Structure 1
Amino acid sequence: MDKIAEGIQKLSDNSLFNGALALIGIILALIGIYLTIRSIKKKIPAYYFESRSLNFSGEYSRVKDLEFIFKYKNEPVDKLTFTRILFINKGRDIIDNSDIIPDRPFRISLKSNFKVLDAQILYSRNQSMNNLKIEWSDNDIFILFDYLAQLEGLVIQIVHTGTEKDICLKGFLKGSIIPIRYKDMALQYLVC
């Protein structure tokens, strides 16, 4: 027993051994903090969008004898913009329909002097399971769902008369959580 106590005493007097133990302790503490942060469940509604516009009254009007006439419901259209929007739950917790503030639902809004001509869901991983759908009027597209699990969402294509600057996503979750707009190209493959 004295040999064991003597061995422990020698190790505790060794500064290299003490430094290694301190380093291991710090590493384990950092791993614990990292795993704790990762395990926190959050609801993070996020979106990314990209637009492509066709302007029929600008550069094409300079070409002699070339005329484009586009109409929507018998009204002339000078500009068409195709916008694809990815709406996704980037959080670890499920976004339930009851989490949405009733008078502030998730919707894509266009400024009042522009119109939505068409809107449709291009892709959704579990569209029928979580009852994903959209409803639209002249200036708003409402995103309706029962729930969105982690990394679930949809890609919506909107044809409208505005530009990318004229469109925005609105809506709130309880707790004043608003959707985060991602501008990075990492999500581009989902909307192109």
Structure 2
Amino acid sequence: MSWIDNVWSLMDLGRVGLVVGLVATVVTYLMARRRTTRVGYVHQGEHLLGSASDALPSGIVVQYDGLSIPRLTKSVLIIWNSGESTVLGSDIVDKDPLRFCVGADGQILSISVLKVGRQVNDFAFTSPRKEMSEAEFTFNFLDADDGVVVEILHTSTDRQPRIKGTLRGLPQGFRNFGQFTRPKPQKKKRSRPLSAFTAVVFSPLVFFCASLVYAFYGPRPEVISADAFNGLMGGLGGVSGMLLVNAWATRRKYPKSLHLESLE
């Protein structure tokens, strides 16, 4: 058999699909680990009083610190260094400081820090002024995965505050990863070593690699034709790839150090 025939024999549907999936997984991992400068945030909001379309009825008067408000909105932002490079607070541009911004139809009532990754990051914010929809904030530095959880009470119909401002070395600004989903509470497991072993053995990555090794070196059952076997291996590779993609897409984007049980 010539070398061309040998190469052609390897280029069946099942093996090609598994190899392509493996290469894509490795490339995705390497790209995710490359050194980048990026700060991101996710948000979650709800109307505590009133709604996005209507203010409180005229017969109902609600005051916050002596100020009558048409509605009360709570927004939570989780901000963290989602890159690899350290971000310095000294790089904040004075003429365009970093600031939280709510909708122009509302004003910020209060800001509170629910959790910080490390106290040494020295995250601070200015007290919101009356009838202002923006409030400035600063920090000392943010290493990879350093961050803060902030709660903002405001009167805007928009439940999704934005972060504006200019930081040297970060021309794209803070990256908005969108609304975060509340993670499901995890049940406590009695046997941690056994649970960890089970999670590794039955992980999509291990399943994918096992399918790849079997496709190349495993025996082919005589009762199954070569085409059917190749199709089966390709199907297993496709399912494993879908599981990997789903695990990546549904992962908790912000660091575990910033997780709060109250967010569940």
Q: TM-score with structure 2 length normalisation? A: 0.53
Which structure's CA Rg is the greater one? 1
The equivalences for 1:51-66 within 5 A come to 51-53=45-47, 54-55=49-50, 61=57
| CA distances 1:123-163 after superposition (whole Å, capped 9, x unpaired) | 1120x211112223233222211111112211111111112
User: Structure 1 pair 159/36, CA: closer, same or farther in 2 (3 Å)?
Assistant: closer
2:183 is the alignment partner of 1:183? no
For residue 69 of structure 1, the aligned residue among 61, 66, 79 is: 61
| Distance in 2, Cα, partners of 1:145 & 1:15 | 63
Q: Deviations over 1:66-105 (max 9, x none)?
A: x643213433222111111111111111111133333223
Letter in 1 for 2:122: N
Aligned residue identity for 1:77 = I
Task: Flag the 1:19–1:151 CA change in 2: closer, same or farther, 3 A.
Answer: farther
| 1:142-161 equivalence runs, <5 A | 142-161=136-155
Higher strand share: 1
Aligned length: 172
Check whether the contact 1:121–1:134 (CA below 8 A) recurs between aligned residues. Answer: no
Quote the offset at 1:164 in angstroms.
2.2
Which consecutive unaligned segments of at least 5 residues does structure 2 have?
11-15, 184-258
Deviations 1:11-52 (A, max 9, x none): x958537987xx9xx999878855653443112111111211
Aligned residues of 1:83 and 1:164 also touching (Cα < 8 A)? no
Contact 2:44 2:160 in 1 (8 A): no
Paired AA for residue 88 in structure 2: D
Q: Is the aligned partner of 1:137 residue 2:128?
A: yes
Task: Give the structure-1-normalised TM-score.
Answer: 0.70
Q: Identify which of 79, 88, 101 aligns with 1:109.
A: 101
> What amino acid sits opposite 1:48 in the alignment?
V
For residues 21-100 of structure 1, the aligned pairs below 5 Å read: 37-53=31-47, 54-55=49-50, 61=57, 68-100=60-92
Counterpart of 2:157 in structure 1: which amino acid?
T
Provide the identity percentage: 17
One-letter amino acid of the counterpart of residue 110, structure 2: D
After superposition, the Cα gap between the structure-2 partners of 1:115 and 1:32, relative to the gap in structure 1 and judged at 3 Å, is closer
Q: 2: distance between equivalents of 1:27 and 1:112?
A: 47
1:108 touches 1:167 (CA, 8 Å); kept in 2? yes
CA distance in 1, matches of 2:125, 2:73: 19
Q: Rate the CA distance shift 1:86–1:36 in 2: closer, same or farther, 3 A.
A: closer
For the aligned residue pairs, the C-alpha RMSD in angstroms reads 3.5
Mind listing any 5+ residue stretches in structure 1 that lack a counterpart? 1-9
Give the structure 1 partner of residue 158 of structure 2: 164
